[in-house]
Amino acid sequence: MRKKIDLVNQSALSDAAQPRAARADGAAAPAPAPAPATEPTRDDDVLEAIHGLMHLARSQQHKALRDAGQALSPLEGRVLAYFAHHPGAALSDLVAHSGRDKGQLARMVSGLREQGLLRATPDAQDRRITRLHLSPEAQAQHHALVAQRRALSERAAAGLSATERRQLLALLAKVREALSAEG
């Protein structure tokens, strides 16, 4: 059964497309007042557009993972990707990189260790620190996840020319920079 997606995540639907409730006398209720000019609408809200796009992409990633019989969640896949790119990193490194809750990540890392996907070794200089590495099985799963994500990325950008792709990436970098700036 396909999950219904709430209208907040559907930027394609305009407010005008929503049905209006009828009044008790059968007449249509008046249309809601338009949003104030200072408030962004769905059509020009950059963050809403990015959110909608990421919601769709994650939904398709979940479907691809299920169809491939992959038992990992996308977040678990990202955790494996982190340790694939940073072999021997510690949990504290992952927390600093991701900005996620330490407890949530500790439980996830523990689960990945129990599944045999992460191997833990004590740090040579400080035995209190545990260094994490991908197991061979996790490396294979990571490579499959990377291939799946690249295929989805190619499909998403299939209608764009090489110039448009570069422009899109440059514009997204500007948005990231603006949000990262202190102020």
Per-residue pLDDT tens digits for 117-170: 999 999 999 989 999 999 999 998 888 888 888 999 999 999 999 999 999 999
Most confident region among 15-29, 36-50, 120-134 by mean pLDDT: 120-134
Distance CA(84)–CA(81), nearest Å, equals 5
Phi and psi torsions of 134, nearest 5°: -75, 140
For the segment(s) 44-178, the CATH number from 2.120.10.30, 1.10.20.10, 3.40.640.10, 1.10.10.10 is 1.10.10.10
Confidence of residue 74 (pLDDT cuts 50, 70, 90): confident
Q: Apex CA 154: angle with CA 151 and CA 158, to 5°?
A: 140
Q: In the chain, how long is the greatest CA-to-CA distance?
A: 80
Task: Report CA-CA distances (Å) from 16 to 32, 39, 43, 105, 125.
Answer: 9, 17, 13, 43, 64
pTM here is 0.62
Within 10 angstroms of residue 82's Cβ, the number of other Cβ atoms is 17
Task: Report CA-CA distances (Å) from 88 to 78, 79, 128, 132, 172.
Answer: 16, 13, 14, 5, 31
